[in-house]
Amino acid sequence: MEEGYTSLPTSHLLGSVPAVIAEEKPSAGATLPANLQVFPPGNGGYIPPESPLGGEEQAANNWKGFCSLSSYTPYFDVDTDVVVSRIISSVYPMDDFSRKIDGSPDLYGPVWISATLVFMLAALGNYGTYLIQKRSEPNGDWEFDVSYVDWAACVVFGYAVAVPAAFYFLLQYFGLNANLVRLWCMWGYSLFIFIPASLFLVVPSEIFRWIIIILAGSASSWFVYLNLKVSTEGSDATPLVVSALALQFALALFIKIFFFS
């Protein structure tokens, strides 16, 4: 019996593993066939491995036109510390804000600032009128004015979009090389100072409110003046710069008169 078992071929025994033939693998330095293509490329499609897109060509390929949202996507890719630094520069106009956005303007900050300002004006404007009414008529009825939301959204977003666009075309008309996104960025950050100012405007004192809005309007107007002056340096565009300053201060007066009267 023992001799019979020992004479069985081992290849048929249960649990036996057939020999594995080692396959040759290409070395790390081996080159792939020339007809293969690299993925993923920077422009969202296949590109040959020996013809990568340059920075300018890639930016041109990403631009889909003024009416396409995908064209503005890169301007929302910004770090929080960069936005905070630019906000601080907008409150302190003597800081070199223009240098900080050279070559890298963003739209995330302006959109966030505008949306926050709309909420603050609508909410605190109503709260300010409530305090004034309770001070003069303690037993009077008060209702939340929903129209403040519509007015705040139209004024803030309309101003932040239309005014820079208008100055862009005016600067182009006068032969100056203006950047529309850069103007949107600068004007958007100029609105930030009205956010903390609106917190003080709820105080039911007209004298105090006028002091706050004059200070905030002056700082914001001076910020626009300095940065627009840098953009138009070396040209005779002083009337445009002064008109931008006047418009910014007019916005401050409108905020005080309409929302905090």
Q: What is the pLDDT along the chain (261 residues), one digit of tens a residue?
A: 444 444 555 545 454 455 555 555 544 444 444 333 333 333 333 333 333 333 334 444 565 666 667 777 888 888 999 999 999 999 887 767 888 888 789 999 999 999 999 999 999 999 999 988 888 887 778 888 899 999 999 999 999 999 999 999 999 888 888 889 999 999 999 999 999 999 999 999 999 999 999 999 999 999 999 999 887 877 778 889 999 999 999 999 999 999 998
Long-range contacts of 30-33 (CB under 8 A, 24+ apart): none
Distance CA 171, CA 173 (A): 5
pLDDT of residue 95: 67
Q: Could you tell me the two tokens for 72?
A: 């503005």
Residue 197 lies in a domain: yes
Residue 252 lies in a domain: yes
Q: What is the largest CA-CA distance in the chain?
A: 117
Report how many domains make up the chain: 1
Residue identified by tokens 């071929």 is 9
Residue 24 lies in a domain: no
Q: Could you tell me the two tokens for 60?
A: 């041109």
Over the Cα atoms of the chain, what is R_g? 32
The answer to whether the CB of 118 falls within 8 A of the CB of 153 is: yes
Domain extent at residue 250: 107-259
Distance CA 125, CA 213 (A): 13
pLDDT of residue 63: 59
Residues in the chain: 261
Q: Enter the DSSP assignment of 14.
A: T
Residue 230 lies in a domain: yes
Residue 185 lies in a domain: yes
Distance CA 152, CA 172 (A): 30
Nearest Cα to Cα of residue 237 among 190, 184, 173, 160: 173
Residue 59 lies in a domain: no
